[in-house]
Amino acid sequence: MWEKMAQTEPAPPPKLSLGKVRINTIPPPSGTCPAHNWVYLVLGLTGVLYAIYLADRETFTKVSSSMYLGSVSTTFKFIDDYSPFNEFLETDEELIEKLKKKNIEVINNEPEPPTAIREKVLTKAQLAGYDGSDGSPGLYLGMLGVVYDVSKGKEYYGPGGGYSFFAGKDASRAFVSGQFDEEGLVEDVSGLTSGDYLGLEEWGSFYEKDYTRVGLVEGAFYNKDGEVTQHWKDLQGWMDIAREERDKQDVEKQMFPPCNVEWTQADGSRYWCTARSGGVTRNWVGVPRQLYYPARQPRCACVRDTGPPSTDPAASSNTGDLDSPHVKEYEGCGVKEWECRVKED
C-alpha cells in the first residue's frame, strides 16, 4: 500500500518567473519642478547684487534707496557687520579701516563726563556783607580762600559772639597766630612755622566737616574766575614741608623720646627717664642725654643704652644709641644714671 501511495503522490507546482526589472538611475530634469527654478533664479540674482554691493557699497546703497530697495542694502550691510565669513573676503586695509570706524563710533557714543560745577566766587566786599548783622543775607567766613556758611554757629560767629571778628572775611592767619586785631585778621599766611601750617590744615578740615561750603572768595588764594593763585600753590608747598618735618619728628620721637622735666629755682632742672616718658610707651627706659640737631635748640632725650643702634639693627654693639653723634652727656651726670640734675648759671 505504501508503494502505491508513493507512486500516486502529486508533483510540485512549477516555479513562476518574475521577468526582468529595470531601475532608472538618471534624475528627472530640474525643469520638471518650477519652484526649484525660481529658487535658483533668486539665489543667483542675490549673488549678483551682493557682488555689485561689495564692489561699490556707497553707490549701491544710493541707487537701491532711490528704487525703494533700501532693505536690500540694509540686509547686505548686516551681513557685512556680523557675518564672520565676510571677513575672509576683506583685505587687510579694509579690515583695519572697519575696526577704526567701530572704535570711533564707540568713542563718540560714550557719555560725556559731567561738567565740573563751577563754584561761586565772591569779592571781599560781597563777603563782608555776610556778617550776620540785621539785614545781612547770612553769616559766612573764609578759610584759606574757601567760604563757609557758619549760620548754625551764630552764637560764636554772629554779632557779640566770641569769634565775631572772623565773620564776613578771610582771616586765615589769625587762626594760628592768635592776633585778632586789624593787622592780624588777614588772609596772607606766608612766613609761618611748620606747626602753624599743620594747624591751618586742621582748621580747614574742621570747617569742611562741620559747616557748609558755599563758594570761594577772590583774594590771596583764588582769582575772580575761581582759579588758584601763586599764593595757594606756595601754601601747598609749605604744608608739604610741614608734613615731612612732622613725620621726621615722629620717627625722632620714637627713637629719642623726650625726658621728664622738672625745674625749681633752688635746684635747677631735673631730667629723668621712665618707660613712658615723653608720651612714648616702650619696653626700655634709657638715660637722659642732650639731643642736638643743626639749627635747632637742644632738648633732653631718653637714649636707649643697650642693644644695637637704631640706625643699624644688625650691628653687634650693645650700647644702643649712646654713640649717636646727636647726643651728648649732661655735665656731672653718670653714664648709666636714669636721672640727671643740672644747675643752670
Q: State yes or no: pLDDT of 1 exceeds 80.
A: no
pLDDT of residue 293: 85
pLDDT of residue 73: 62
Tens of pLDDT, residue by residue over 156-167, are 999 999 999 999
pLDDT of residue 3: 41
Read off the amino acid at residue 278.
Answer: G
Mean pLDDT of 47-65: 68
In this prediction, residue 64 has a pLDDT band, given cuts at 50, 70 and 90, of low
For residue 10, what are the CA distances in angstroms to 1, 3, 6, 13?
Answer: 16, 14, 9, 9
Tens of pLDDT, residue by residue over 195-228, are 999 999 999 999 999 999 999 999 999 999 999 9
% of the chain at pLDDT higher than 70: 66
pLDDT of residue 167: 97
Contacts 24+ apart (CB under 8 A), 161-167: 164/131, 164/132, 166/141, 167/130, 167/131, 167/132, 167/139, 167/140, 167/141
In this prediction, residue 79 has a pLDDT band, given cuts at 50, 70 and 90, of low
Q: Which domains does the chain have, with CATH numbers?
A: 34-96 (no CATH), 121-247 (3.10.120.10), 256-342 (no CATH)
Mean pLDDT of 41-53: 69
Lowest mean pLDDT among 76-80, 90-94, 149-153, 183-187: 90-94
Tens of pLDDT, residue by residue over 242-262, are 999 888 888 888 899 999 998
Would you give the end-to-end CA distance of the chain in angstroms?
172
pLDDT of residue 311: 85
